Amino acid sequence: MSEKIALIGAGAMGGAIGTRLLETGNTLKVFDLDADRVAALVEKGAVAATTAAEAARDVDFVITSLNASRIVGLAAFGKDGIVEGAAEGTVIIDMSSIEPDATRKFAKMAAERGLAWVDSPLSGGAPKALIGELTLMAGGAPDDVARAHQALKHVASNYTHMGPSGAGQTTKLINQVLCGLGFLAVAEATQLALDAGVDAEKIPQALKGGRADSALLQEYLPRFAAKDYRRTGRIDNMVKDLNAVNDLARQTGTSMPMTGLCAEIHRMLTAAGLGGEDQAAVMEFFNGAKEEFAT
């Protein structure tokens, strides 16, 4: 069944989500401050909107894919924001990765305006979005989460209701702990293989099915070994998420020494000018940051 959807934020992740929604037959309106990003989706069949409010008119779902709670707040509740155009009952689905506290605040503000808010951050990145195999962890009222699935089923193969508003974002932070530490572990193992003269390209096959196997190992060890830094994510986004993890850990009194070290390494890479590079560029931690990268 085709759905009427608005997309706010058409960057690498939002663009992939929008592409998949169009390919699966949905009607899509898109707004982004970057005209080129909007144009790329318009070429695939989307309708351009000049504001978030305009995008939110006459749709059933509004998906946000942005990179900070401040930006989500402005897009939803600021001038010409989503709430100015959305009809009562519209479901706002925030697929950004932001703080759980901010999500709970936004959900309350939306409810006061007769709108539903579902936090549905993701795992799998743009490659999985393009083939409809994202993993989504959702927070919100049960009925709202179920309604949101009508739109999200086109981009996700794993959709789990984790609890009330903010529970999806908390689960995403847990995901980022595992991913952040996993990236560094795979990078270290790759460097050891290279230094020891083992054919690193054979390691994923050699370890496949064993206890050390993982999706990260299978996807990223070959990329680490080849210094394949194609951009499918950003190191500074991982910094943002790990900072949020550290904030949550302080609130809960949870000791997370390895995550703290992982965050510091990612901050070092960002300070070295690699914040905009793909996670694969953590390999530069072992070799010294390069000044330039191929685009």
Task: Give the active site residues.
Answer: 172
Amino acid at 112: E
Quote the tokens at residue 201: 């390209």
Concatenating the DSSP letter of every residue in the chain gives: ---EEEEE--SHHHHHHHHHHHHTT-EEEEE-S-HHHHHHHHTTT-EE-SSHHHHHTT-SEEEE--S-HHHHHHHHHSTT-HHHHPPTTPEEEE-S---HHHHHHHHHHHHTTT-EEEE--EESHHHHHHTT-EEEEEES-HHHHHHHHHHHTTTEEEEEEEESTTHHHHHHHHHHHHHHHHHHHHHHHHHHHHHHT--GGGHHHHHTTSTT--HHHHHHHHHHHHT----SS-HHHHHHHHHHHHHHHHHHT---HHHHHHHHHHHHHIIIIITTS-GGGGGGGGT---S----
Instruction: List the one residue out of 167, 152, 180 whose CA is nearest residue 239.
Output: 180
Query: Would you say the C-alpha torsion 251, 252, 253, 257 has a positive or negative sign?
Result: negative
- Number of helices (H) and strands (E) in the chain: give both, helices first: 13, 9
Helix axis angle, 12-23 relative to 35-42, nearest 10°?
20
